[in-house]
Amino acid sequence: MLGRTLREVSVALKRGQVTPTELCQKCLALIKKTKFLNAYITVSEEAALKQAEASEKRYKKGQSLGDLDGIPVAVKDNFSTTGIETTCASNMLKGYVPPYNATVVQKLLDQGALLMGKTNLDEFAMGSGSTDGVFGPVKNPWSYSKQYREKRKQKPRDENDSDWLITGGSSGGSAAAVSAFTCFAALGSDTGGSTRNPAAHCGLIGFKPSYGLVSRHGLIPLVNSMDVPGILTRCVDDTAIVLGVLAGHDPKDSTTVQGPVNSFLLPSLTDVSKLCIGIPKEYLVPELSPEVRSLWSKAADLFDSEGAKVKEVSLPHTCYSIVCYHVLCTSEVASNMARFDGLEYGHRCDIDISTEAMYATTRREGFNDVVRGRILSGNFFLLKENYEDYFIKAQKVRRLIANDFVNVFNSGVDVLLTPTTLREAVPYLEFIQEDNRTRSAQDDIFTQAVNMAGLPAVNIPVALSRQGLPIGLQFIGPAFCDQQLLTVAKWFEQQVQFPVIQLEELMDDCSSVLANEKLASVSLKQQ
Amino acid sequence: MAVPTLRCGFSGSRWTFALVDRGCRHRTVATFNWIRGQSSVAQQPLHTAQKPRKGAQEWAAVVGLEIHAQISSNSKLFSGAEVRFAAPPNSLVSFFDASLPGTLPVLNRRCVEAAVMTGLALNCHINQKSLFDRKHYFYADLPAGYQITQQRLPIAVNGNLAYSICVGKQQREITKTVRVKQIQLEQDSGKSLHDDLRSQTLVDLNRAGVGLLEVVLEPDLSCGEEAATVVRELQLILQALGTSQANMAEGQLRVDANVSVHHPGEPLGVRTEVKNLNSIRFLAKAIDYEIQRQISELENGGEILNETRSFDYKLGCTVPMRDKEGKQDYRFMPEPNLPPLLLYDSTSLPAGADPQQVIDIDRIRETLPELPSETRARLVQQYGMLPEHSFTLLNEVGLLEFFQNVIKETRAEPKKVVSWVLNTFLGYLKQQNLAVSESPVPPSALAELLDLLHTRAISSAAAKQVFEELWKSPGKPPAQIVSEKQLGLLQDREALEELCRATLDGHPQVVRDVKGGNPRAINKLIGLVRKATQGRAEPALIKQILEKQLSSPAP
């Protein structure tokens, strides 16, 4: 049952084949079982069980709240949750319990979803590996998959679990949680690719909505002008269901668009011949792994062979994108992080010689090097003497990048097809050879331009690499054409038939957990 | 909320405009007479910048003001928290005001309307698109580490404010204009209370996030009195509009002054910023002190530092504020959570726009109330009063309303009412240091009293006595006082003739004087009769009777 999609399990709940409490308990058991993945920072077991109980009562009375009623979900630990510690994986917010729910969290709860817990991330979502949080790195469930292990056995080398893979990030905890079947959907956040990148590495759908479609209220910001709540699920339809719940104007977020939101239910495309798929030539970079490159080209061929128009397009300012992103991101970070001074909430040091000394020590103790480094560069860019040369210039470049997309879409392209990442997930030990900044610059290469332009984009897992690891491709759509984008993505998903992760080696009897339809006597033994 | 003591005083300098070379500026010696109760300013010759010593060049002072007015609104600029003066500490703080991570600003429509209204009243150009910026600095009562303001593109620009001052011995009224550079919307900060004893700072966030209108004036002023007059006029405008209560004592109106001196024709001098000006009186004093200080400093070979100074009202002088870090770099940045603020007028209003979603400048213009200058002109025209009387009526809080209520209820001549309200009534208030609202005499009582006078039921002298009585025993109707004290005019002609006769009999010498060709001596007799009637008879009638009796042979 846990291996099913959200839509499937929703049907099972409605039919009474499983109860919310059963489902909740199974997920909690699996969360415990997979604790070593470090996907969750906080597991809200008690609250989840209470929510399940309430949901069960509704189902008994025939008063289900909808598709999400009784569905276990997880939320990245940078969304505020009433009564549940919200840390951003930082010392700065350890012990901080928000008094309010982020709008997206509230919407999930209002639909009856069960909040299993808060998922791990890079500190304040700054990173692309989910390796730089104060609670330690997240392990990619695919490290323990049958598919990957089998390939590994051919060249055995490490028996003591040191060759595990990163999830990508920064929403790696959410990706691992969904990928390991501990929940049916998870919220991530996406500022430069933080939802799509781990989705690609974990074989999931990772969706970044149009900026302004989904409320950011309660999302602890990285870069306000680029952040969006992201959705991680195991299939495109599930993403559409969650998006349908989350989307819409929020009076608490002035950057959300007014007006009614259409349903995001996705039609099944049978004919793609009217579609025009753009392949941005600038995304073909030397660093791109041959496998990803080949899959990208196969995907283009697929559209072509099914009658779609596939054409090469140009996004000429792409090469300036990462630098521009860096300036804008760090500037906003410097500003957004100014509130963490130890006065109102969060960490406060013991120094009390003066307010300034208290600020300085609190912030030194509270933030890791990555956060402090970004604050430092951001403040540099915002200095009066530098503002014109850096911030203003970066804003102008941002406009050029956004216009590149507008021009392409105006030329008749419906969606762009690009890689999501340069390669499949790498082992942790390899990943940490390089610093966070270098990693982010490399890993965000295909994803961050979309954030600067505010466009919807989605990672679709396509196939396994020779190593047995997921490779995903990214579709990018015009602003507020989220439904159209997901419709194309759904068609593509159906064509590629990406394999389900096989976690038998991870959990002795997980085949029974994942396959057992009766859910009668599933026990999750320790490995 | 307590934090360790702040080691350096923060100079929240928001002074951004460049000084404009105004060329030669001649000071007029002005006196300040409209703001009653500002006695230290009133009637005092000013410390002017123009008292050239022999051989010395004359000095001109250049004064610019930056005024922060708290917007009168139920809730804060970007949050739903209530705005109320003197509430228990930290009781009016929303999650946003406390800068809880993840909270976002939501612009308060009322504050925008107040800014537009104020801009229109100050003849500003209203920008149909304005932007919000973050201004960064660390301070305990600024929870987010930045203030949201309008640095790049404010909501209103290029206005002006006319004000009048009286000059010279003749108190000739002249009208001047100060240019309004811009009006911007911004957040107020919280309040810090420093407890040096315990080495702690207490923070109250009730004020954090309250909407402010920052009105920036060009440096067109030249002395404390002009500055005080301008601030008073702005205060009246804000109060008439209802956009701010503008009570300086409650901090709803805060003024910072930029002061420099130079020799006319030469470039402007280095300016200082004077803060902590919490009353109009201190504002005038501080500016004049600062002008004098700069002149003496320069004349003694010193130099003026570009610094922030605070006015010490106990010592009556300005002192440098501790400002350890010198000039701050505020690292301005666009506020990414607020889209551009778009306003419309009748030409740009999109068809079918939801009135709840848009702000129409022209509609606000139509709802503008009567402004103080218009009120004064109307008073002069409608009641024939002197312009200075109209100023007094407006400048005293509540006096205009009192006056209008009296006018409404009495048949007495407006001029009479003006005289009674401005002389008698205001005189009593001033003597006892009371506000109009604290007066024991309500407008209705004064109106009734003036009616008695008007219908000649009592004499003016008796009216004064009745007023005295009204003041002493509030609530008693004037008519009752008149009858109890027997202050009514003597209606009995015979009795009055009797009194006159007795007076003539009792003062044969005066009678002889009158008859001996000194007609003015009759006034003495009239006075004596009035005294005998306790002021209850009309002098004209007494005179008539006396003349008759004097011209007829004694019985």
ipTM, 2 dp: 0.94
Task: Give the residue ranges of DSSP H helices in A320-392.
Answer: 321-336, 355-366, 369-382, 384-387
Q: How many angstroms away from the CA of A224 is the closest CA of chain B?
A: 6
Contact (CB<8Å) A339/B144:
yes
Q: Does A518 have pLDDT greater than 80?
A: no
The mean per-residue pLDDT over the stretch A63-83 comes to 97
Closest-CA residue of chain B to A336: B144
Q: So what's the pLDDT on residue B17?
A: 27
A350 touches B: beta carbon within 8 Å: no
| pLDDT tier at B517, thresholds 50, 70, 90 | confident
Residue of A419, A513, A414 lying closest to A463 (CA atoms): A419
Rounded to the nearest angstrom, the minimum Cα separation between B105 and chain A is 7
Which residue of B lies nearest to A378 if distances are taken between CA atoms?
Answer: B331
Q: What is the share, in percent, of chain B residues with pLDDT greater than 90?
A: 60
Query: Hey, what amino acid is at B312?
Result: D
Gap between the Cα atoms of A48 and A63, Å rounded: 19
On the question of a cis peptide bond just before residue B199, with omega within 30 degrees of 0, the verdict is no
pLDDT tens-digit map of A432-471? 998 888 887 888 899 999 999 999 999 999 999 999 999 9
Compare CB distances from A383 to B1, B146, B329 and report the shortest one's residue.
B329
Residue B443 has pLDDT above 80, yes or no: yes
Q: How far does CA B414 lie from the centroid of its chain?
A: 24
Strand (E) positions, B20-132? 30-31, 60-70, 125-126, 129-130
Q: How many CB atoms lie within 10 A of CB A505?
A: 16
Q: Are B526 and B511 in contact (CB under 8 A)?
A: no
Is the pLDDT at A358 greater than 50? The verdict is yes
Q: What is the pLDDT of residues A9-42, one digit of tens each?
A: 999 999 999 999 999 999 999 999 999 999 999 9
Condensed to tens digits (0 to 9), the pLDDT of residues A271-318 reads: 999 999 999 999 999 999 999 999 999 999 999 999 999 999 999 999
Angle between helices A45-61 and A20-33 (to 10 degrees): 160
Pairing of strands A185-190, A72-76: parallel
Confidence of residue B50 (pLDDT cuts 50, 70, 90): very low
pLDDT for A245-269, tens place per residue?
A: 999 999 999 999 988 777 788 999 8
Annotated active-site positions of A, please? 76, 170, 194
- Min Cα distance B143 → chain A (Å) is 6
* The predicted structure's pLDDT at residue A505: 57
User: How much is the average pLDDT of B215-223?
Assistant: 97
Query: Which of A230, A129, A120 lies closest to A180, judged by CA?
Result: A120
Q: Is A217 on the interface with B (CB under 8 A)?
A: yes
All residues of chain B having their beta carbon less than 8 Å from the beta carbon of residue A221 are: 101-102
Is B95 close to A253, i.e. CB distance below 8 A?
Answer: no
Which residue in B103, B136, B191 has the most chain A C-beta atoms within 10 A of its own C-beta, making it the best mutation to test that interface? B103
Residue A519 has pLDDT above 50, yes or no: no
Task: Report the alpha-carbon distance of residue A253 to residue A209 in Å, rounded.
Answer: 15
> Is some CB atom of chain B closer than 8 A to the CB atom of A329?
no
Q: B2 falls in which pLDDT band (50, 70, 90)?
A: low
pLDDT of amino acid B15:
27
Contact residues for A278 (Cβ-Cβ < 8 A; gap 6+) = A311, A312, A313, A408, A413, A415, A416, A417
How close B134 gets to chain A, by Cα (Å)? 8
Q: Which pTM was predicted?
A: 0.87
Would you place residue B56 in the very low, low, confident or very high pLDDT band (cuts 50, 70, 90)? low
The reply to whether B461 touches chain A by the CB within 8 Å rule is no
Tens of pLDDT, residues B175-186: 999 999 999 999
- ∠ CA A323-A445-A313, nearest 5°, is 105
What is d(CA B131, CA B145) in angstroms, rounded to the nearest whole number?
Answer: 19
The minimal CB distance from A343 to the residues B143, B332, B333 is found for B143
User: Which positions in chain B touch A79 (Cβ < 8 Å)?
Assistant: 102
- Predicted confidence band at A155 (pLDDT cuts at 50, 70, 90)? low
Q: Are A76 and A218 in contact (CB under 8 A)?
A: no
Give A384 to chain B, closest Cα distance, Å: 6
Cβ-based contacts of A359 with chain B (< 8 Å): 138
Query: CA of B6, closest CA in chain A: separation in Å?
Result: 5
Count of pairs with CB atoms under 8 A, one residue in A, one in B: 123
**Does residue B203 or residue B54 have the better pLDDT?**
B203
- Across chain B, mean pLDDT equals 85
In chain A, the percentage of residues whose pLDDT exceeds 70 is: 94
> What is the per-residue pLDDT for A457?
98
- Asked if B4 and A384 come within 8 Å (Cβ–Cβ), the reply is no
Residue A258 contacts B, CB cutoff 8 Å: yes
Q: In this predicted model, what pLDDT tens digit does every residue of B317-376 receive, in sequence order?
A: 999 986 645 578 999 999 999 999 999 999 999 888 888 889 999 999 999 999 999 999
| Burial class, B321, CB count within 10 angstroms (exposed 0-12 / middle 13-18 / buried 19+) | middle
Q: What b/e readout covers B285-319, taking b as 16+ CB neighbours within 10 angstroms? A: bbbbbbbbbbbeebeeeeebeeebbbbeeeeebbe
Residues 284-323 on A with a CB inside 8 Å of B are none
Chain B within 8 Å of A454 (Cβ-Cβ)?
no
Calculate mean pLDDT across residues B126-144: 96
Domain residue ranges in chain B: 60-334, 372-485, 493-551
Average pLDDT taken over every residue of chain A: 93
CATH of domain B493-551: 1.10.10.410
Q: For the packed helices A369-382 and A436-443, what is the interaxial angle rounded to 10 degrees? A: 70
pLDDT score of B9 more than 80: no
Average pLDDT over residues B238-264: 95
Cα–Cα distance for residue pair B92/B70, rounded to 1 Å: 16
Nearest to A47 by CA among A26, A72, A66, A29: A72
Residues 6+ apart with CB under 8 A from B135: B14, B146, B147, B148, B149, B151, B330, B332
Interface test with A, best of B133, B330, B333 (most A CBs within 10 A): B333
Q: Which amino acid is at A12?
A: A
CB contact under 8 A, A358 and B100: no
Task: List the single residue in A93, A216, A354 with the smallest CB-CB distance to B7.
Answer: A354
Output B370 or B525, whichever has higher pLDDT: B370
CA–CA distance, A507 with A416 (Å, rounded to integer)? 39
How far apart, in whole angstroms, are the C-alpha atoms of residue A192 and residue A107? 24
Which H, E and C letters describe A477-518, residue by residue?
CCCCCHHHHHHHHHHHHHHHCCCCCCCCCCCCCHHHHHHCCC
* pLDDT tens-digit map of B253-269: 999 999 999 999 999 99
At B69, the amino acid letter reads: A
- Distance CA(B389)–CA(B426), nearest Å, equals 12
Q: Nearest-CA residue of chain B relative to A258?
A: B357
Point out the residue among A218, A339, A355 whose CB comes nearest to the CB of B6.
A355
Q: Do B199 and A352 touch (CB under 8 A)?
A: yes
Q: How far is B83 from chain A (nearest CA, A)?
A: 19
**H or E element at residue A73:** strand A72-76
Q: How many helices (H) and strands (E) does chain A have?
A: 19, 11
Cβ(A457)–Cβ(A419) under 8 Å? no
Q: What residues of B are in contact with residue A80 (Cβ under 8 Å)?
A: 100-102
Q: Hey, are the CB atoms on A217 and B140 less than 8 Å from each other? A: no
- Phi and psi, residue A162, nearest 5°: -105, 0
Q: What is the pLDDT of residues B393-422, one digit of tens each?
A: 998 889 999 999 999 999 999 999 999 999
> What pLDDT is attached to residue B553?
62
Cα dihedral: B82, B86, B89, B92 (round 10): 0
Asked whether the beta carbons of A413 and A365 are under 8 A apart, the reply is no
Residue B235 to residue B371: CA distance in whole angstroms: 11
Most confident of A518-522, B1-5, B149-153: B149-153
Radius of gyration of chain B (CA): 30
CA–CA distance, B248 with B280 (Å, rounded to integer)? 8
B534 interface with A at CB cutoff 8 Å: no
B201–A contact, CB cutoff 8 A? yes
Tokens, residue A241: 């269901």
What CA–CA distances, in Å, run from B381 to B386, B393, B401, B414, B450? 9, 14, 17, 11, 22
pLDDT over 90 (residue B388): no
Q: Are A193 and A227 in contact (CB under 8 A)?
A: no
> What are the phi and psi torsion angles at B262 (to 5°)?
-160, 170
Euclidean distance between CA atoms B146 and B135, whole angstroms: 5
Residue partners of A198: CB distance under 8 A and separation at least 6:
A130, A167, A168, A169, A170, A171, A172, A174, A175, A176, A188, A204, A206, A232
CA gap A119, A81 in Å, rounded: 12
pLDDT for A159: 58
**B37: how many CB neighbours lie within 10 A of its CB?**
15
Residue A282 neighbours by CB under 8 Å, 6+ apart: A314, A315, A316, A318, A319
CA nearest to A108, candidates A88, A81, A77: A81
Measured in whole angstroms, how far is the alpha carbon of residue B165 from the centre of its chain? 13
Q: Compute the 3-state secondary structure of chain B and give helix, strand, coil in percent, each to the nearest 5.
A: 35, 20, 45
Q: Which of A45, A39, A33 is nearest to A2 (CA)?
A: A33
pLDDT of B11 higher than 80: no
Q: Rounded distance, CA A267 to CA B131, Å?
A: 41
Residues 49-108 of A with CB under 8 A from B: 79-80, 86, 88, 93, 96, 98-100, 102
Q: Do A382 and B98 touch (CB under 8 A)?
A: no
Per-residue pLDDT at A507 exceeds 80: no
Residues A498, A470: contact at Cβ < 8 Å?
A: yes
